Every structure is written in structure tokens, then in C-alpha cells.
Structure 1
Amino acid sequence: MRAAWAQGLLPGALWLPVLWTLLSPACCSYGPPGWRFTSSEIVIPRKVPHRKGGIKMPDQLAYSMRFRGQRHVFHMKLKKNLLPRHLPVITDSNQEGMQEDYPFLPGDCYYYSYLEGVPGSLATLDTCHGGLRGRIQVDDFTYEIKPLETSSTFEHVISLLVVEERGEASQRCDIGEEETKPVFEDLELLGSPRAGTYYLWRKHPKDTRVMYIVSYSYINHFKNQTLVLEHVMIINSIVDTIYKPTGFNIRVRFVLLWDTTDAVSLEIGNAFAFLRNFGRWMHSTWQHRVSHSISVLIAGQLIAEKNHYAVQGAICSGRWAVLFVAARRFHVFLASTIIAHTLGHQFNMAHDSPHCLCFRRTHCLMTPVPNLQDTISNCSYPATHQWVLKWDTCMWQLNVPYESFRYVAPRCGDKIINQLEDCDCGSFKECASDKCCGTDCMFTPGSKCNEGDCCQDCKFSPPGTICRDIGGICDLTEYCDGQSEKCPNDTYIQDGTPCSPRAVCMRGNCSDRETQCQALFGRNIKDGAAECYKQLNMIGDRFGNCGMKSQRGGPRIVKCSKENFMCGMLHCSGLSSIPGGGEHTAFRHLSVRYEQVEHHCFGYDAHFGTELPQMGMVVDGAMCAPGRFCLGKNCTSHVDLNFDCDVRRCNYKGVCNNNHNCHCMPGWKPPTCEEKGEGGSEDSGPPAGRQQRLRTYIHVDMHRIIPLLLTRLILCLLSILAGGIPTLKEAVSSSLDKDET
């Protein structure tokens, strides 16, 4: 039986189509909403302690509620870095120009969720405004959950959302109408949309940084910029959830609002022409200012009679990395799915053919008629990853910060030394433990500094105090100059200076291939045979190459030439056991044969697509041929480094540093090391003089000797006392014996 409150609402629901028909001309609408709720139920979520292995997980929540006739537990995991800490929101108006704001938008309240015991279930929830809000997908059913207003018992409403069925021709997506390659249609599902045995399933997350532009028609319809920004955040979170299994993180880069007029006219008869105009405007106005992967226009009206449009496979292509979706008449969940579908075309996803499948869904994300689908098919996975392997430059870059920053009024206590401040120790609590800097951001009486490598007891360290010691035989020591709290810039022996029979100095490091093998695998490990380098590195795959080459469309593996094969991937020998590897790394053991002799080649490699250091590559400075060494995966000579060190210029009493100056040995004075002096260079600061070193040694030795002498004196007194007591007893005893006699 239908609940009484539902029966009361039904007549009003039947009047809605009539009202939309009457109001649409006056409101300039292009049709009634294309969705409706068919049923609702009241639930009360109960928080469940979420623990893993007995440990409380601070970024995970769990709620239990009775839903669909039985009790379910929702497991929620926090989405991190979904939007910047200070999200720039640009308002573009003709009267006032561009205004940049940083409104408070909570970013630590969006969750990726699923229902316990319901395979294939997926939910995008948030707790940003109290209670649970968001989308729940169970099989082909889409639900909306939100708090029940005015409820005092944490009641929520869960409603079943359906999309109005119109003619397929009016809803069909016509972007990139082409057949899916049969090789991908043959993949079978084994309980997961990524179950195919395909190398590209190896997941390394990539950031797709989205710039959202909201048209004037959309903003004018809602007449509330806060609500519009909330829609953008919900849309982005749902799209991020849909693409989460593929390894793509969908991030908000920044938001641009056209609040008085559209910067690019939406009144155009051709969708492709609009994308061209929109892309040109974005490229000329914003691409050089803010790096991003794609621009998404959320429009409030149809553009060229289309709900959405994009160019197939255009991600990372500059002015063509744009798309639009007319989202005003759509529920925000449906708008999110259509954006995800259109973004899929940018990732080179074609429409799913009848052979394409996804787990526990009748239709998948790339069905030709977008609806509320949320799962990517077995056909779309490999197509996307193959494309990204070739065209992912904009998702390999680090997240370059926006050129403008939030304005913060300078103040004492912000830990930034501003004008008229000597220091800034932070809050009152932090300053309480700082004896050199006061709460007024001025030095305490007698203090000259409060931090720095050359600051000791609120004073500048004496000249000659070591502030940065050597880190290896190719590094040089830096000393305080007694006039500043800062240590001089790091100096090291000039690149190309020989440091061992098989290596030269390179950026302060001296390492040959054998030393590198021992650092990776332990002592007694040797460098691999030359045939390992020659046969493997000249192949050009993940087990033998000369690194990655950046180019338009993303980096590609480079095979080594016959001149550079000793400078590619590192190969070692002599391992007796398989070592462990870190995350995203793989240990490899390959064998090569040359003249009836088998050589074993061991090494590490990092999976393609990670930003891990290339620990499996030969380090710069290792010798690769007589008189030649590795530099940037090339076997090169001193000429390429502009090596100009002549020890005669330093009178054979010093070495050249990275600034091409002489660093003199102790006892000789820079810059030419001709005269007697203390050593060092003009760049390293003055070393301590002999008298000062002697005073330091005496000072240090006295601190060591005095406690030792006191300890020995106390032990001596104790031993005397301990030895004297028996003697005293014997004397008293002999005296008593004499008295008795």
C-alpha cells in the first residue's frame, strides 16, 4: 500500500507536465525536466565504527540503514585532493572585468562508497552540509539520498530517479560514430570490468585537471552562484567516481563563471564550429595562464540543437580539449553521467557495440544513448589506456600552481618575516619555546638570529663553523662566515673530475655501475656483463632501454644506440636470491647468450606511467668507454660538459668547484692556492683558522676530560674507603686481643 504522504503528493505530480506546458514560453525554457522520482522512502542512517585490522581508519566511514527492504552498510572512503585547497573562482563580467575569488568550499567531505554485500554497487556521497547527500547506484537503479529537512532524528530521504524516455534519435550521441575494434569485444568479464588479462590494466593514477566554465544561461536560471558552485562540485565528484576504476583522478583546476554574458556566443548553428571557437578562446585566454587537461562548459541551453558534444580523442590537444553539456533541464546526476560520457570520447572511447559488457549493468557508460550509466565497459578500458599511453602529456605534468594566489594580509605570527619584522616564531605557544624571537616579531635583547644553519644560541656562528658537511668524495664543505645565519650555497667538485677508475664526479656524486648495483642489491654484487647492456638495452622495451623521450602525445620508450647502450638500464650479476621491491617496481632476471656463454642480468624497473625516480637506470658519471662517461643516457666526453678545470690554475693544491673556482686544500689560501691560508674557496665560506681549531679542540677536550677525571676521582675515593674499613676492623680487633691478655 502506498504511504499516505505519497498519495497526497501524487495529484500535484500529475499537474507538473501541465504547468511546464503553460510556463515554458514565459520562462524561455526548452522543455520540462527530463527526469522524475518514482518512489521514496525514509531512512535513518546509523554510524558504524569502521576499523581495519583493529585500527581505526580516519579517512573512512560506515553507515548502516534499512534500504530496499533490508539493512545495508555503506562503506565510504574519503577522496583526497579532489579540489585545490584554495580554489580560484573567476567571475567574468563586462562591467567589472575578471574578478578572482577564493570562496570557502569544503574539500574533505566527498566520499567514494559502495554497499556491503552488493556486488557492483557504487555510490558518490558527501557530508559537506550535514548528513549524507549523493548518488547510489545498485544494478540499473539510481537513487538519490539527502537529509530530510526539519527532521530532528537524522532522517534521510532515498528516492528512485528515472530519466524520461524520449525518442532515441533526439537523445542519441553522434560523436565519433565508429565501430569498436573486434579485438576488444572478445574480452570476457570475470566479475569485474577490469578482469581481462591485459597488460594495460596495471593502474597508475593520472590526474585529469578540469577547468569548469559555467555559461550565463545556466547561472541566470538558478540565480545563485553558491548553488551553481555546489553543482560543479557534485558533478566533478560523480565523474571522478565513474573513472576511479580506470586510474584517472578527475580534479577541479578552477571554475570560471560567465555571470553577465557568454564570452563565446552559444548562438551558432554547428556544434563543431562552436567547439572550434570555444577552443580558440580558451587557448588564447587561459591555456598559458593555468595548465589544465580539459575545459568543460556547463551550458543552460542547447548549442546547435545538441545536448553535448566533443571531438573524439582530443584530450591533451590544446584548443580541441574542450566539450560542452547543456545541463539545465537535467538532474545533476544525469548531467554528471553525460559529462562523463562526453569526456570518454575525449579519452578516445567509441560507443559500445552490442558485444561490449560491464558488470551488473544492462548498459555501460559509452552506450550511444546516454542515461544514468556509471560503469565503463570492457571495450572502453583498453581503448582508453592505449590512447593515454600515446597522448597523456597533460596528465604527466605535475600540478603546476595557479599564477595568482590568495591575498593574505601580512601579520606578526604568520611565520613569514615581513617588513619591519626581525623574525616570526608563529603563535604564542610556539614563541614560548623560542628564546631568540619575541611575540612582537622582534629579536629578544642581545639576539641576532633565531633560525638558520649558522645560528647558535641566538648569535651568528663563529667564522669557520661547518654548516654543511661533505656528502661524498665529490662534495665540498661549506662554512659559516660569522656575518649571517645562512649557510653558503652548496658547492661540489666540478662535473667531469675523475673520482675513481670507473667514474667521474657528477653533481657531487661519484658512482659507477658496480657501486650502484651494490647499493641496490647488497655487497659482493658485480656489474653485469657487457652483453647484458648490448643485447637488452638496444631492444627498447621496459626491460632494456635508454629512458623515456618527451614528445607531443606523451613520452615513449627509447632504445639505446650502439654508442649509448652502456648508459641505459642498469644490469647486475651475482645475485643468489630474489630481493623485494617497492610499490610500482619490478625485479627482473633475464638471460642472454654470447659465444656459447650464458650471462644472467638482474635489475629493477619502475612501471610505465609512474613518477618514481628511475633507480633502474645507470647513473650519470659512470664510465661507458675509455675517456667517456654517461650523461643523460648518452655516452659523452668532457667537451660536452665544458670541462675547463686545470689544476695548474690551483697550483696543484686544490680542485675546481662547480662555480669554476679553486677550492684549496687546508693550509692554502683561495683563490689561487699560492699563499699560505686556511683553505676552502670564495664560494664555501672561510674555514676555521688553526688557532680557532686549537681552541675548539681544547674546549671540546676539556668538556670530555673534566667529567672523566671527576669520575675517576670519585671511584678512587670509594675504593680507598672500601679498602680502609677492613684495615680499621683488623686494628680494633688486635687492640682488643692485647687488652684481654
Structure 2
Amino acid sequence: MRCGLTEKEVARQQLGFEEAENSALEPKSAGDWWTHAWFLELVVVVNHDFFIYSQSNISKVQEDVFLVVSMVDSMYQQLCTYIMLIGIEIWNQGNIFPMTSIEQVLNDFSQWKLISLSQLQHDAAHMFIKNSLISILGLVYIAGICRPRIDCVVDNFQGDTWSLFANTVAHELRHSLGMQHDEEFCFCGERGCIMCTFRVPAEKFTNCSYGDFMKTTLNQGSCLHNPSRLREIFMLKRCGNGVVEREEQCDCGPVQQCEQDACCLLNCTLPGAACAFGLCCKDCKFMPSGELCRQEVNECDLPERCNGISYQCPADRYVQDRIPCSDSAYCYQKRCNNHDQHCREVFGKDAKSASQNCYKEINSQGNRFGHCGINGATYLKCHISDVFCGRVQCENVRDIPLLQDHFTLQHTRINGITCWGIDYHLRMNIPDIGDMKMVLCVAQERSASTRSVSVCLSCHTSAFLRPAI
């Protein structure tokens, strides 16, 4: 059994779509794509034969689809890509169009879904079919992601295990994301890799797949940037989804994850065990009362200890906001906030917080170098009274720090002073070292003889004033 995307089929598709959409895609800036999270909104259409195989039971079909998508999602997470199922359509009365060949099914499906699924915003549409007369496992438009006319995939279930079918779905979806079949010098560290031409049990992608994925997502992956709202994600309470629900004692998730769990069984029970996870669970038992489960990280934090009757570590506690800490600093949400200290941490021991003019000029711009928060994809400008609540600005910088990729240093000359700051791109899964995280911030007004400290009242709401202990 093999994938239907042969070299001949790839060439035919490229010839057909090259002229039509050559100028429609705007390239995005390059970089180390793995620092970003990608969110793929998936809709699945189940044909009538698949419905019959699942005992003609709509609930059973939903469970089967969820199981497959869950396994596919676990494979994708190695690339920091999350698969979110936002809809299922089940053809329980019969097939809407014939199922004679997989090429015909893909063509008819792509035309049908443009109209029938137009109200459901999605990044990829998959049709799950069961047809033993079709020997091809699946067919897809290469690099069709984020292109509504061709973001379609047909996956042919042959009645074998769900894990093998999940391999097929992951394989075909990767073609939609621009990945080609693995060739001679493609390696994943395992005997079988997901993008092999012929189906083999596999869970990893090769170096070639990583490169193809990067190329496609950077050039046309804009639809993968933003996650769905929680209410838009299609959810089903069931054993195996990784969430403890209803009468479940535990839920270790997909089969691959359960194989690594010594406490929780596939049927979501804990035979002979008290727990399967949690900071207060060790060797399937509750840790003794008084055992430290969360160490304090600084003078503004408090330690937490197990109570001996639960797997959960108590809620993270910290000292009350606005308690003094260090040198002229204040605690806020477990962090000792001090502009001078922050500058020293980033730019070295000689650095210090910049003048008020730097904060006023830069943080009032509302861009990635200066802002007072982010609303969706929009940077919020700081009001003049709140400029110290925005991104940290420093001066007296002697050495350029060695930063991770995707950070950019900016230095701006203002009234004879060089102001230094650091930007931060949206959607990165690394800490933002230029963020003061100070909703209850401390404004530092400098003069030749005195330094006064005042609370920025406009930066907080009453909810933030309640003690966190």
C-alpha cells in the first residue's frame, strides 16, 4: 500500500496551480521556525462506508475520529504544531458523490467543500473514506495549506489499526504542508519515518521534512498563526483524550503516551494505584504530608507542600503584591520588579534604567520595541503616566548581550542619551526578557537630588490588590 502522491502526480499538480497562484502568496520573513507554535484548524468529513464500518453509530464515528486526530496531534507536536478539530460531518444517509477512484474523490471533494463547508472556517479539510477497492492510501494537493481551493485531503481507511490509519492521515496532511516523500539522505533516527513512500509504523519526521515544512509555513502559513477560541474546538468527553472526565480515575491519553505510564491503564483506571500524575504523586502513590512540591523561586514567592491526600500540589502562592523587596523594588505576582535590576540582568552590571524621556518616547509608540501590552495581534501604546509599565529601557550599556534568535536589540539616541531596548515577536514559546510584567508598576522619577517612588494607579484594577495568599 502506498501514498497516491507520485512524482508524476506532483508534477501534474505543480503545472496546474503554478500559473494560477504564483503571485498570490507573499513570503514571510525567514528564521528559526521551531520557536513558533502553529495551530491547524481541521474539519473531517466521514463518508458513508466509514460510517457503516463504525457500526452505523454516530457516537462511535465521533470516538473513532477523535482517536485518530489525537494520535496525529501527538505526532505533530514534535514540530510545535497543534491539530484542533473544529468540526465533523458524517454522511450517514449515503455518499454525496461516487467513490470510484481516489483522484475523482479528491477532485469532487475539493469542489463540494468550497460550498458546503464555506461557513466553517478551517485550514485543512480531510475526507475519511473506507474503500477496499481503492488500493491508494491517500491523495492530497501538495502544499495546499492556507489555500481554500486546494486545502483538501482524502484518507483511505483499509480496516487495519487506528494507529496505522493515523500514520496515513499524518502523512497526507504533511503533503498538504509541503513535505515531499523522503529520499536517500533523509533521516529521522528510526527505522521508519512518517514521510516514507510506503506505509510503515512511524512517529518521527526527517530532516528533509523539517526543511519542507519550514519553507511552506514561512511562505504561505499565515492561516496557522492564530489558535481557535476554545468554544470553536469540537470536543468529546471520552477515555483517551488526556483529560480526566466524568467517572475516570485517570486518562493517560493516546496509546503511545499510555505505554509510558506505569500507573494509568488504557481504560482510564488506576488498579492498585492512588494516582498517575501530579507534583504530589510519586511511584503511583501520594507523597507524604509536608513534602516540598514547589520550591520558592525568589523572595516574592512562597513554597508549597503536599497534604498527603492528593496528587495535586497546592495552588502557587506568593507574597502580597506591593511588599518591598531588594533595593527600592516591589513584589508583583511572584516577581521582584526593579527597572535597574532588570537592566543589569539583561545588559550587564554597569547598565541601569534609562531616563524618563526614553520610556516616554519609546513606550508611547505602540510597536514591538515599546508598548504597554498586546491585545490580540495589536501592540498597545503606553499613556504618558504609564510609560514605566511598558518595556524596559536601559542606558549605560557597555556590552552587547548574547541573546537567543528572534530577539532584536534597538538603541535610540534621545536628548544625548542612548536608550537600549529589546523587542519580542508574537507567537514565540520563549520568555520575553524585555517585559517588566508590572501591572502594579513603580514609576521612578529622577532629579538631581532626590528619587521619589509612586504607584502607577492607572495600571491596575481592584482585583490585583487582593492578597494572593
Q: 1:570 aligns with which of 388, 392, 417?
A: 392
- The answer for the alignment partner of 1:507 in structure 2 is 333
Which shifted more, 508-517 or 555-564? 555-564
Residue 606 (str. 1) matches residue 436 (str. 2): no
CA distance in 1, matches of 2:264, 2:341: 43
TM-superposed deviation, 1:451? 1.9
- The answer for the alignment partner of 2:203 in structure 1 is none
Aligned pairs for 1:714-733 (under 5 A) are: none
Q: Secondary structure at the match of 1:607?
A: coil
- What do residues 525-557 of structure 1 show as CA deviations (whole Å, max 9, x unaligned)? 21122222222222222222223212xxxx222
Q: Secondary structure at the match of 2:343?
A: helix
Q: Could you tell me whether the CA contact under 8 Å between 2:351 and 2:396 is conserved in 1?
A: yes
- The answer for the alignment partner of 1:345 in structure 2 is 148
Q: 2:352 aligns with which of 514, 526, 544?
A: 526
TM-superposed deviation, 1:336? 0.6
Question: Given the superposition, is the C-alpha separation of residues 266 and 531 from structure 1 closer, same or farther in structure 2, using an over 3 Å criterion?
Answer: farther
- The answer for the alignment partner of 1:406 in structure 2 is 239
Q: Could you tell me whether the CA contact under 8 Å between 2:294 and 2:304 is conserved in 1?
A: yes
CA distance in 2, matches of 1:309, 1:479: 54
Q: Secondary structure at the match of 2:141?
A: helix
Question: Given the superposition, is the C-alpha separation of residues 452 and 259 from structure 1 closer, same or farther in structure 2, using an over 3 Å criterion?
Answer: farther
Residue 658 (str. 1) matches residue 459 (str. 2): no
- The answer for the alignment partner of 1:636 in structure 2 is 459
CA distance in 2, matches of 1:219, 1:492: 53
- The answer for the alignment partner of 1:142 in structure 2 is 8
Aligned pairs for 1:338-737 (under 5 A) are: 341=144, 343-345=146-148, 384=220, 388=223, 392-394=225-227, 402-406=235-239, 414=263, 423=274, 451-452=287-288, 454=290, 471-476=297-302, 490-499=316-325, 502-550=328-376, 555-582=377-404, 584-594=405-415, 597=416, 599-620=417-438, 621-624=440-443, 628-629=454-455, 635-636=458-459, 640-641=462-463, 643=465, 658-659=468-469
- What amino acid is aligned across from residue 8 of structure 2 in structure 1? T
- The answer for the alignment partner of 2:29 in structure 1 is 199
- What amino acid is aligned across from residue 142 of structure 1 in structure 2? K
- What do residues 565-589 of structure 1 show as CA deviations (whole Å, max 9, x unaligned)? 222111222222222112x432404
Q: Unpaired segments of 5 or more residues in structure 1? A: 1-128, 144-160, 185-193, 268-297, 349-364, 366-373, 427-433, 442-448, 456-465, 645-656, 660-741
- The answer for the alignment partner of 1:335 in structure 2 is 139
Q: Secondary structure at the match of 2:336?
A: coil
- The answer for the alignment partner of 1:319 in structure 2 is 120
- What amino acid is aligned across from residue 443 of structure 2 in structure 1? C
Q: Could you tell me whether the CA contact under 8 Å between 1:454 and 1:485 is conserved in 2?
A: no
Q: Could you tell me whether the CA contact under 8 Å between 2:351 and 2:398 is conserved in 1?
A: no
Q: Could you tell me whether the CA contact under 8 Å between 2:305 and 2:314 is conserved in 1?
A: yes
CA distance in 2, matches of 1:425, 1:542: 42
Question: Given the superposition, is the C-alpha separation of residues 423 and 562 from structure 1 closer, same or farther in structure 2, using an over 3 Å criterion?
Answer: same
TM-superposed deviation, 1:423? 4.6
CA distance in 2, matches of 1:220, 1:418: 30
Q: Could you tell me whether the CA contact under 8 Å between 2:352 and 2:396 is conserved in 1?
A: yes
Aligned residues: 357
Q: Could you tell me whether the CA contact under 8 Å between 2:263 and 2:270 is conserved in 1?
A: no
TM-superposed deviation, 1:608? 3.0
TM-superposed deviation, 1:337? 0.8
Q: Could you tell me whether the CA contact under 8 Å between 1:479 and 1:487 is conserved in 2?
A: yes
- What do residues 651-693 of structure 1 show as CA deviations (whole Å, max 9, x unaligned)? xxxxxx534xxxxxxxxxxxxxxxxxxxxxxxxxxxxxxxxxx
Q: CA RMSD in A?
A: 6.1
TM-superposed deviation, 1:309? 4.4
CA distance in 2, matches of 1:409, 1:381: 39
- The answer for the alignment partner of 1:261 in structure 2 is 93
Q: Could you tell me whether the CA contact under 8 Å between 2:41 and 2:83 is conserved in 1?
A: yes
Residue 213 (str. 1) matches residue 45 (str. 2): yes
Question: Given the superposition, is the C-alpha separation of residues 405 and 575 from structure 1 closer, same or farther in structure 2, using an over 3 Å criterion?
Answer: farther
Q: Could you tell me whether the CA contact under 8 Å between 1:308 and 1:323 is conserved in 2?
A: no
CA distance in 1, matches of 2:425, 2:134: 41
CA distance in 1, matches of 2:110, 2:262: 55
CA distance in 1, matches of 2:138, 2:300: 62
TM-superposed deviation, 1:590? 0.9
TM-superposed deviation, 1:607? 2.8
- The answer for the alignment partner of 1:19 in structure 2 is none
Sequence identity (%): 17
Decide which structure has greater strand share: 1
- What amino acid is aligned across from residue 414 of structure 2 in structure 1? R
TM-superposed deviation, 1:512? 0.8
CA distance in 2, matches of 1:587, 1:343: 29
- What amino acid is aligned across from residue 585 of structure 1 in structure 2? H
TM-superposed deviation, 1:611? 2.8
Question: Given the superposition, is the C-alpha separation of residues 163 and 531 from structure 1 closer, same or farther in structure 2, using an over 3 Å criterion?
Answer: closer
Question: Given the superposition, is the C-alpha separation of residues 266 and 481 from structure 1 closer, same or farther in structure 2, using an over 3 Å criterion?
Answer: closer
- The answer for the alignment partner of 1:285 in structure 2 is none
- What do residues 676-726 of structure 1 show as CA deviations (whole Å, max 9, x unaligned)? xxxxxxxxxxxxxxxxxxxxxxxxxxxxxxxxxxxxxxxxxxxxxxxxxxx
Question: Given the superposition, is the C-alpha separation of residues 585 and 507 from structure 1 closer, same or farther in structure 2, using an over 3 Å criterion?
Answer: same
CA distance in 2, matches of 1:249, 1:479: 35
CA distance in 2, matches of 1:260, 1:219: 6
CA distance in 1, matches of 2:32, 2:323: 42
- What amino acid is aligned across from residue 556 of structure 1 in structure 2? T
CA distance in 1, matches of 2:428, 2:322: 30
Q: Secondary structure at the match of 1:619?
A: coil
Q: TM-score, normalised by structure 1?
A: 0.37
| Higher alpha-carbon Rg | 1
- What do residues 180-209 of structure 1 show as CA deviations (whole Å, max 9, x unaligned)? 57x96xxxxxxxxx7xxx636774351314
- What do residues 148-186 of structure 1 show as CA deviations (whole Å, max 9, x unaligned)? xxxxxxxxxxxxx9879xxx9xx999xxx99957x96xx
CA distance in 1, matches of 2:137, 2:124: 18
Question: Given the superposition, is the C-alpha separation of residues 567 and 396 from structure 1 closer, same or farther in structure 2, using an over 3 Å criterion?
Answer: farther
- What do residues 476-502 of structure 1 show as CA deviations (whole Å, max 9, x unaligned)? 566899999997655433223344664
- What amino acid is aligned across from residue 636 of structure 1 in structure 2? C
CA distance in 2, matches of 1:628, 1:479: 36
CA distance in 2, matches of 1:477, 1:248: 32
TM-superposed deviation, 1:513? 1.0
Question: Given the superposition, is the C-alpha separation of residues 219 and 490 from structure 1 closer, same or farther in structure 2, using an over 3 Å criterion?
Answer: closer
TM-superposed deviation, 1:136? 7.2
CA distance in 1, matches of 2:83, 2:310: 44
Q: Could you tell me whether the CA contact under 8 Å between 1:206 and 1:249 is conserved in 2?
A: yes
- The answer for the alignment partner of 2:114 in structure 1 is 310
CA distance in 1, matches of 2:137, 2:271: 53
- The answer for the alignment partner of 1:147 in structure 2 is none
Question: Given the superposition, is the C-alpha separation of residues 172 and 220 from structure 1 closer, same or farther in structure 2, using an over 3 Å criterion?
Answer: farther
